[in-house]
Amino acid sequence: MLAVDHGSDDVRDTLFATAGCAVVVYLAFKQWEPWRLSIVIPLTVFPPVVLSLRLVESHGMMNATAVTFTTFFSILMASVAFYRLSPLHPLAKFHGPLQCKLTGFWMAWVASRGKRHVYIQSLHERYGDYVRIGPNEVSISDGTVISLILNSPGWPKASGMSGRALHQDPLPLISLPDDAEHARRRRSWNRAFSSAAVKEYQPIVAQRATQLIHALQEQQGVVDLAQWMSYFTYDFMGDMAFGGGTEMLRDGDQDGLWALLKDGMSTAVPFEHVPWLSHYISHFPSMIRSLTKLRTLAFGRSQTRYNKGSNTRDLFYYLSNEDRADAEMPLVKVVISDAVLAIVAGSDTTAVTLGNIFYYLISNPQAYKKLQKEVDKHYPAGEDALNPKNYSHMPYLEAVINEAMRLYPALPSGSMRTPAKDTGGQSIGHHYIPVGTQVRVHPYTIQRDPRNFSHPSLFWPDRWLIASGLLSHPEKIVHNSEALIPFSTGSRNCVGKNLALLEMKMVTCHILQRLEFRFADAWDPRQWSEDLEDVFVSRMGQLPVVVQAR
Q: How far apart are CA 169 and CA 333, in angstroms?
A: 8
Number of H helices, E strands in the chain: 26, 11
Torsion angles phi and psi, residue 533, rounded to 5: -130, 155
Strand duo 438-441 + 137-140: pairing: parallel
Residues 485 and 150: beta-carbon distance below 8 Å:
yes
Distance, in Å, from the CA atom of 22 to the CA atom of 26, rounded to the nearest integer, reads: 6
State how far the alpha carbon of 43 is from the alpha carbons of 36, 40, 49, 64, 102, in Å: 11, 5, 11, 19, 22
Residue 21 marked in a binding site:
no
Q: Which helix (H) or strand (E) holds 547?
A: strand 544-549
Q: Tell me 287's DSSP state.
A: G
Nearest to 261 by CA among 286, 238, 284: 238
Measured CA to CA, the distance from residue 185 to residue 176 in angstroms comes to 10
Distant-in-sequence, close-in-space partners of 415: CB < 8 Å, separation ≥ 6: 157, 161, 174, 440, 488, 492
- By residue count, the chain amounts to 550
d(CA 522, CA 286): 39
Least Cα distance to 507 among 201, 206, 204, 198 occurs for 206
Task: Give, for 318, the enclosing helix (H) or strand (E).
Answer: helix 315-319
Cα 528–chain centre separation:
20
First to last CA, the chain: 98
Binding residues for heme: 494
Binding-site annotation, residues: 494
